[in-house]
Amino acid sequence: MSKETYRSAGVDIDAGDRVVELIKPLVKATFRPEVLADLGGFAGLFRLDTTRYREPVLVSGTDGVGTKLKIANLLRRHDTIGIDLVAMCVNDVIVCGAEPLFFLDYFATGKLDPLQARDVVKGIADGCRDAGCALIGGETAEMPSMYADGEYDLAGFAVGVVERARLIDGRTICPGDAVIGLASSGLHSNGFSLVRKLLFDIEGLAVDDHLPELGGLLGPALLTPTKIYAKTVLALTGEFTLKGIAHITGGGITENLPRILPPGCAAVIDRHRWPPAPIFRLIQTRGLLPDDEMYRTFNMGLGLMLVVAADQADAVRAAAEALGEGAVVVGRIVSGEPGVDYA
C-alpha cells in the first residue's frame, strides 16, 4: 500500500509557511492604527473609528485583474500586478466618496512558488499604501492541476467608509453640469483578451518587441499598473462638491459613464479634448477597430470621470492638476436618457 501525503498530492504546506514569513513585513507596512490583529489569524480585525462619523456607511468592492495576468507571466514580472488588483477594487469604492480602509486578497496557483507569491503580495502592499488602506488578510490556495505551470489567479476585496450625508451617488447631476476626465496610466486592467488576440495572435508581436509607435518595448507598456485615484478623490471631496464619479473600466466610457447618470440626463463627450495614449492608437491602427468599439472597450486615456457644477469645473480641474493628475474638461450633461454621445 502506497503512503500518500499532502505534499505527494501536490500541496506543499512548508512552501505556504514560507510565503507567510516572506510577506509579513510587506503586509505590516500597510497597517493603520485601526488594525487589531497580526497576520496569520483566521480573520482580519479592523476597528471602525465611529467618533469621526455621525452615520457611517461601509462601501465594499471586489474585482480581479483578468488576463493581464498573462502579460505578467510572459514578462516573468510579478511585482506590479498586485497594484492593478488594489486599483480595480479601490477605484470602485472611492467613486462613492469613501475612504478606503482595508483590503484582502485571494491568490490561487497550481504549484506554490514562494518568491513569485512574495512579489505578487509586494505589489498588493504597494497598492494599499498608495490607496491609504491596510492589507489585513488574504488567502493563498495551492490547487494542483487547476492552473498551468507558473500561472495563478488573483481576486481582491476592498472596504471603505463614507459619511452618509457625503455619499456620492449621482442623484444631483443635472443638465448643464460639466464632465472632467482624469488621465489613466494606460490600459489599466481591461480589454486584455482583445489586446492579446490582436497584437499577439493576429499581428504576431511579442512582449520584447520594440515598437516605434510606443517608443519602447510592448510588454512593459501593457503591464503598466492601473492608476489609483484614492488620495486625489479624497482631497477633492474635501474642497468641492463632486456630484458623480465614474470609474472607466471594462465597457469603456460608453458603458461606464451612464451608470452614474440619473433619469433625464445624458452626457456629451468631446473626443478632441484629449489625445489617447500611444497604446490606444497602436491597438486601433493594428486592429482596424472603429471608434465605437474602442470607446466601449477601453478607457481611452481617462481612468476616472467627475461630474461637477459648471461653475466649479475650472477650479476642480486646476485642483486635480495640482495634485499631480492629468485633468481636462471633456464634456457636459444634457437632457436625455442616460447614455453617451460623442462630439
Report whether 140 contacts 41 (CB < 8 A). Answer: no
- pLDDT value at position 43? 87
Q: Where are the alpha helices (DSSP H) in 132-266?
A: 192-196, 218-223, 230-237, 252-256
Report whether 219 contacts 187 (CB < 8 A). Answer: no
- pLDDT value at position 5? 63
Rounded Cα distance between 153 and 145, Å, is 13
Rounded Cα distance between 252 and 191, Å, is 9
Q: 327 pairs with which residues across the strands?
A: 182
Q: Give the single-character DSSP code of 33.
A: T
Grid coordinates of 311: 461653475
- pLDDT value at position 37? 78
pTM of the entire predicted model: 0.94
Q: One-letter amino acid identity for 261? A: L
Q: Where are the alpha helices (DSSP H) in 29-105?
A: 68-75, 81-94
Among 163, 133, 152, residue whose Cα is nearest residue 61: 133
- Chain length of the chain: 343
Rounded Cα distance between 324 and 343, Å, is 27
Q: List Cα–Cα distances, 76 to 83, 121, 148, 208, 304, in angstroms.
A: 16, 15, 14, 12, 29
- Sorted by where each starts, the structural domains of the chain and their CATH numbers stand as 13-166 (3.30.1330.10), 178-342 (3.90.650.10)
Helix (H) or strand (E) holding 24: helix 13-28
Q: Per-residue confidence of the chain (343 residues) as pLDDT tens digits?
A: 556 666 665 666 778 788 888 889 998 999 999 999 777 678 889 999 888 999 999 999 999 999 999 999 999 999 999 999 999 999 999 999 999 999 999 999 999 999 999 999 999 999 999 999 999 999 999 999 899 989 999 999 999 999 999 999 999 999 999 999 999 999 999 999 999 999 999 999 999 999 999 999 999 999 999 999 999 999 999 999 999 999 999 999 999 999 999 999 999 999 999 999 999 999 999 999 999 999 999 999 999 999 999 999 999 999 999 999 999 999 999 999 999 999 9
Q: Give the single-character DSSP code of 298.
A: S
Neighbours of 274 (CB within 10 A): 18
In the numeric block, the cell 447614455 is attached to: 339
Rounded Cα distance between 125 and 133, Å, is 9
Neighbours of 255 (CB within 10 A): 17
Q: One-letter amino acid identity for 286? A: R
Q: Give the single-character DSSP code of 271.
A: G
